[in-house]
Amino acid sequence: MEARETFDTVADLYGEVRQGYPAALFDDLEALAGLGPAARVLEVGCGAGQASGDLAARAAHVTALDPGAQLIARARARTGAANVDFVVSTFEAYQPPPGGFDLVASAQAWHWVDPSVGFPKAALALKPGGALAIFGHVPMPPPEPFLAAFEKVFAAHAPGIWGLPPPQSAYLPAGPFAGMIDASGLFGPVTHRGYAWTWTVDGRTLGKYLRTDSSYRALPDDTRLRLFDALQAAVESLGDRIGLPWETHLYVARRPA
Res. 251: pLDDT tops 90: yes
Reported as a single tens digit per residue, the pLDDT across 185-227 is: 999 999 999 999 999 999 999 999 998 888 887 789 899 999 9
Reported as a single tens digit per residue, the pLDDT across 98-154 is: 999 999 999 999 999 999 999 999 999 999 999 999 999 999 999 999 999 999 999
Eight-state DSSP code of residue 1: -
- How high is the pLDDT of residue 7? 78
Q: How confident is the model at residue 5 (pLDDT cuts 50, 70, 90)?
A: low
Q: Is beta strand 126-139 parallel, antiparallel or unpaired with respect to 101-107? A: parallel
- How high is the pLDDT of residue 53? 97
Dist CA 33 CA 39 (whole Å)? 10
- How high is the pLDDT of residue 165? 87
Reported as a single tens digit per residue, the pLDDT across 11-64 is: 888 889 899 999 999 999 999 999 999 999 999 999 999 999 999 999 999 999
- How high is the pLDDT of residue 223? 93
Least confident of 121-125, 158-162, 173-177, 241-245: 158-162
Cβ proximity of 58 and 28 under 8 Å? no
- How high is the pLDDT of residue 99? 98
* CB atoms closer than 10 angstroms to residue 215: 15
Of 211, 213, 226, 243, which Cα lies nearest the Cα of 147? 243
Q: How confident is the model at residue 9 (pLDDT cuts 50, 70, 90)?
A: confident
- How high is the pLDDT of residue 175? 95
- How high is the pLDDT of residue 162? 85
Res. 172: pLDDT tops 70: yes
Give the phi and the psi of residue 168 in degrees, each rounded to 5.
Answer: -65, -15
**Which CATH superfamily is 3-141+166-198+245-254 part of?**
Vaccinia Virus protein VP39 (3.40.50.150)
Cβ proximity of 198 and 246 under 8 Å? yes
Dist CA 105 CA 256 (whole Å)? 17
- How high is the pLDDT of residue 218? 77
Q: How confident is the model at residue 6 (pLDDT cuts 50, 70, 90)?
A: low
- How high is the pLDDT of residue 213? 86
Dist CA 129 CA 74 (whole Å)? 32
